[in-house]
Structure 1
């Protein structure tokens, strides 16, 4: 597999990591290990959902994204605000205030991702109606969900909706309109997305379904938010007429919004990566027989719950719902100059067998057998003390040559206990010749006694007696 398939926005700041195991227990693809007191992210497994960023109390997990200085790299810049941006502000009743503030911030123009979402909703309705053999069809708006499916649920790839996400459609239309308006070349125009999550940062660098994204840069909502607040006060006095989206497009910012735009009753909408996995497992088991569409969002509450936002996701959902009261149902429809090639995927999404143990079927089977034997030796507690999320994950790491059996604290306890007993027997059987203080046998015995003392202390720590146990009820 090529390394460029695994560009990631999520990364680890080793200086802040203290080796706790919170992240390894919450990672949906078991991409994180703790080795030598520091977390390690396996690139092939990571889907950039940002769950480790959310859970890390030490802020050691972070995300790459651009800084506002990127606006100076282009002659003309277009901001692509995500619908979730609107949910970050209190008492907002006019989207034009936010869009005007973006112009005051230095952008040449804006094109709402929500407007493109209405175009995608229209195209999705048509596709779902014409492809009933693929039901239920899975949304592809969340890049983390698509990445999760391609590495962990390959049997569901055929159910993916092969339409570009709104952010990509918005980028392509924004560039086309900017070139027509200014006469500038594509290289002089910067299309900058304002993102709620690291997943879409990764998409801009390593897109799914297309060879190259039209997004030139990505800014985080949490960085833009404090810059926009004072500018919005000025923009409120004289807002420009820039908004081009209604309830359907803006509703995409929270869970269930995309399904609402499809206008169907036979749908399922789930948010939060653990719930997403549960839905995909049920889908593999063919538990859904009467659904036409499944909307899945890796973040709690949908995009409003992204780790690059500032507002609580549930408060943000309420704000977005309130804002939608003032909007028409839909404003933007598919423009006649938007081709099918620009709207739909141009590349197939393929299964990535990143969890495969061996390079051949025979080797994989042999390694799987060894994994099973190791799992029988381990206690099956999935405690995470070894630095792996489960006993099976540790067994796989051992088979791959990245860990040892004694990384398991319970195996290590047994090993120390056995070694202590052996040294004790050796000490008792060694000849005690203390006549000559330089006798090698005497020196050796004294050395063994010191080793035994150290090992006994360690053995007592790892194997406490029942008398030392604290009663749980006490």
Structure 2
């Protein structure tokens, strides 16, 4: 069954401008017939295309608040990145109380679950070093899918823990069942997330065989709903249950700091993450014990679902942390309950770039791709609708494109037919031969 991605394309807005094809880290976008298309098996829901599209044709879709009506009792799981979206906010409890005003019955902070995961990781560190180093954080769904797709040799380096929002969902549902007496299926648990990849992860978990969330709302949608009730709250009940460590997970470096270790590296931005993974794969980063990899710039505060600039949001979070306790939560589960933080599904390689299931046929296709690519200009101009000449050659061999989609191949054919230099006039100006070149000939 194909993954239900949250990143979608609006064909009515798309103009086929090719801006998106160059930014995709997995070359998952093509432009054909003046419209972009997304190859679903290659998409990692990083949201880079959403940021770059000048026509707002690519967007990410979360759930609508109308899904709350399907459940008798609804729990909100706000990610700490939400707190950095509001101007002049000096009390997190204002946000948490306002969530109860817009249809939720209970609030369980994801920052609380993050503190429990941090404590669990510190306990693991004290019990002995990990079997494989450097260990890679498992907190970013985009990075997990990227590793499964492009760096399968590094899957053994990924930490065994589930996402903070998944741990929050498990614990929140348990609490709600105890408090209400309702069966679990009548309780809806919803995350309020900063990025498209976490919406997808709420629908199909990377680390759990069964999803523990009933949906996910975009921070930008909840933000608009919260503005009015936040202004008109008469009583603000104390609800915040997390400290500096849990809130720090919202920005890059927060998880590393929570481990209280010195040999940690924090990397943000999907292209920087890819370069770091390439170095690890090549064995060029032996001295680090832990890598915190965030696909978004500045971490979750830089997600495409946020309202505010990530640097401003990070500044506001730091301001909110002042006066907060370092941590309010410990991981104190024992026995079988201790396994609640661990994945019950092993990461599996995604054979996205496999050319054919038959090894011989795949090798033959690879040779044909290399042969065709050697006859292409190597300019990676994108005019063919593919992000690179290699991707175009692959599309041709796999039947997704025609050789004539390359404008330089068309020029060669026109020259052979007409025998004239005027064929250059059909090329975009940057690729035409200059007059001096023609004179030399």
TM-score interval, smaller chain? over 0.9
Structure 1 residues 321-375: Cα deviation after superposition (integer angstroms, max 9, x where no partner) = 1111121000011243781332100010011111011212211211111111111
**Counterpart position of 2:286:** 289
Kept after mapping to 2: 8 A contact 1:97/1:239: yes
Q: In 2 relative to 1, CA 108–458 (structure 1 residues): closer, same or farther, beyond 3 Å?
A: same
- Measured in 2, the distance between the counterparts of 1:87 and 1:297 equals 18
| SS of aligned partner of 1:66 | coil
Partner of 2:300: 303
- C-alpha separation in 1, matches of 2:310 and 2:87: 13
Partner of residue 383, structure 2: 385
Mapped partners of 1:124, 1:419: distance in 2 = 68
Deviations along 1:119-169, one digit per CA (max 9) or x if unpaired, are 111112233453433111101111000000000001110000010110000
Cα separation, 1, equivalents of 2:174 and 2:364: 54
**Aligned with 2:216: secondary structure?**
strand
Whether the 8 Å contact between 2:424 and 2:433 is mirrored in structure 1 is: no
Q: Report the equivalent of 2:175.
A: 177
Per the alignment, in what secondary structure is the counterpart of residue 412 of structure 1?
helix
Does 2:269 correspond to 1:272?
yes
CA distance in 1, matches of 2:423, 2:409: 14
**Take 1:200 and 1:465, find their aligned partners in 2: how far apart are those partners?**
48
Partner SS, residue 214 of structure 1? coil
Residue 122 of structure 1 corresponds to 119
Q: For the residues of structure 2 that align with 1:282 and 1:182, how far apart are their CA atoms? A: 51
RMSD, aligned CA: 1.8
SS in structure 1 at match of 2:232: helix
TM-score, normalization: structure 1?
Answer: 0.88
2:40 corresponds, among 38, 43, 49, to 43
Contact 2:250 2:299 in 1 (8 A): yes
Query: Which residue of the partner structure matches residue 217 of structure 2?
Result: 219
Is 1:461 matched with 2:429? no
Task: Tell me which residue corresponds to 1:100.
Answer: 97
User: What is the aligned partner in structure 1 of residue 417 from structure 2?
Assistant: 419
Deviating more after overlay: 398-407 vs 140-149: 398-407
Deviates more, 1:116-125 or 1:331-340: 331-340
CA distance change for structure 1 residues 189 and 259 in 2, over 3 Å: closer, same or farther? same
Selected match of 1:233 from 225, 231, 234: 231
Considering only CA atoms, is the larger Rg found in Structure 1 or Structure 2?
Answer: 1
Contact 1:128/1:137 (8 A) holds in 2: no
- C-alpha deviations, 1:8-52, integer Å up to 9, x for none? 110100110000111110001000011111111001100001111
Contact 1:32 1:388 in 2 (8 A): yes
Which structure 1 residue ranges, 5 or more long, are not aligned? 425-455, 470-474
User: 1:259 — aligned with what?
Assistant: 256
Q: Tell whether 2:140 aligns with 1:142.
A: yes
How many residues align structurally? 433
* Counterpart Cα distance in 1 of 2:226 and 2:37: 36
Distance 1:459 1:420, change over 3 A: farther
Aligned position for 1:76: 73
8 Å Cα contact 2:411-2:426 kept in structure 1: no
1:450 equivalent in structure 2: none
8 Å CA contact 2:79, 2:250 repeated in 1: yes
Change (3 A) 1:128 1:349: farther
Q: Is the partner of 1:46 in helix, strand or coil?
A: coil
Question: What is aligned with 1:316?
Answer: 313
Structure 2 match to 1:452? none
Q: Matches of residues 399-418 of structure 1 in structure 2 within 5 Å? A: 399-418=397-416
Q: State the partner residue of 1:52.
A: 49
Distance 1:356 1:272, change over 3 A: same
